[in-house]
Amino acid sequence: MSDPQNTVTLWHATTSSEKPGRIEACCESWLDQDEIVRADRFRKSTSRNQHVVGRGMARRLLGDEAVTPNEIQFAHAVHGKPYVVRPDAAKQPFNVAHTDGLVMCCVGQDRHELVGVDVERLGRRTDPELAQRYFSQPEIDFLQSKPEGEVRRDSFLRIWTLKESFIKAIGTGLQTPLADFAFVDIDSDQPRIELLNPKLQSDMSWQFFSIEPRQGFIGAVAVACRQNADEVRVDLRSFDDLVV
Amino acid sequence: MTPAEIRVEILDILDDISPDEDLDNLKDDVAFREQLELDSMDFLDIVMELRKRHRVQIPEEDYGHLASMASTVSYLEPKMVDIVKS
């Protein structure tokens, strides 16, 4: 049986593209005033809903039953990655990702130093030049080995979500050049990363998971542990069921 | 280009990348990603479009300057001052 302390939980929630629904209402009740002000800046309902559900999910899930969602206080690192300031029971590594109609929140355990998550809807319009300009050469070669059309586009999104999960985990966003690291075994469920820039190397070991959380979506999870960490397991769960 | 012309150019690129977005009354001092449905891929599309249209090169370490309309125009002004708006 797998060790719960090695399990990263990946929660997925449905969001409305128009009028807020039950999940949005529930999540909004957990937000503080600043978060609601930020949510109200979005001009489209779909963006507002994703923001509300993303932050609401984190509040509900961090600390689990031991913490009231409203009592959690967040701060943001230099490039904007949020983390928990208090209470201590909620200080778990987490990361949120959203795309049209779906929000995901990844929650790690104490032994996980960093987690990152990204998700995209399959079929999203992509610019082939983006890979040429920003991906590493092994990834460009991998894409060019795929037949043009849907298969290549989906492979692009698979690499993109993996790359995003890494830069979101380390918290630098796009200021880390995407060609400074490369994924190999991309078609597997657990691709591996090669850190091409020595500045990215550290005493942490990385594990990655390529996941289709729901039909029509592709996502990736990044988990960093101190060296010699055991194999991490990702447990996929529906947040919708939690707020029924 | 003048700052006003750069602003119009950025709005034109945003309109191409996110045609469903209502760009009227965009708040120049608020981050794009806090008011528009733009993600990282859209952001790189903007950078690539600036390169294609005007040969403006923006290194990754400068991406933080492109957070809002106001900071983007300030950053681009010296790079685009010699470009004549077509």
pLDDT tens digits along A20-43 = 999 999 999 999 999 999 999 998
- Segment A197-204 shows an average pLDDT of 94
Residue type, B51: R
Contact B44 A134 (CB under 8 A): yes
- Token code pair at residue B63: 């991406």
Is residue A1 scored above 60 in pLDDT?
no
Out of B27, B41, B64, the one facing A175 most closely (by C-beta) is B64
pLDDT digits (tens, 9 = 90+) for A155-191: 999 999 999 999 999 999 999 999 999 999 999 999 9
Is the Cβ pair B21, A44 closer than 8 Å? yes
Are the CB atoms for B5 and B47 separated by under 8 Å? no
Q: Is B37 on the interface with A (CB under 8 A)?
A: yes
ipTM for the predicted complex: 0.89
Is the pLDDT score of A11 beyond 60?
Answer: yes
Q: Taking residues A137-160, what's their average pLDDT?
A: 95
> Could you tell me which CATH class the domain B3-79 is placed in?
mainly alpha
Q: Write the single-letter amino acid at A10.
A: L
Q: Is the pLDDT of residue A113 over 80?
A: yes
Q: Is the pLDDT of residue A2 over 70?
A: no
Residue A56 belongs to domain spanning: 4-242
Neighbours of A104 (CB within 10 A): 27
Q: For position A160, which CATH number holds?
A: 3.90.470.20
Mean pLDDT of the residues in chain A: 93
A43 in contact with B, Cβ within 8 Å: yes
pTM: 0.94
Neighbouring CB atoms inside 10 A of A199's CB total: 8
Nearest to A41 among B30, B40, B41 (CB): B30
pLDDT, residue B83, reads: 83
Residues of chain B with pLDDT under 50: none
Number of compact structural domains in chain A: 1
Q: Say what percent of chain A tops pLDDT 70.
A: 98
CB-based contact, A133 to chain B, within 8 Å: yes
pLDDT score recorded for residue B21: 83
**Beta carbons within 8 Å of A181's beta carbon, 6+ residues apart:** A136, A163, A166, A193, A194, A195, A196, A197, A200
Q: Which of B37, B44, B48 sits opposite A174 (nearest CB)?
A: B44
Residue A43's pLDDT is 84
| Helical packing angle, A45-61 and A33-41, nearest 10° | 150
Burial of B27 (0-12, 13-18, 19+ CB in 10 A): middle
- Model confidence band, residue A228 (pLDDT cutoffs 50, 70, 90): low
Residue where the block lists tokens 């965009």: B26
Torsion of CA B50, B53, B56, B58, to 10 degrees: 30
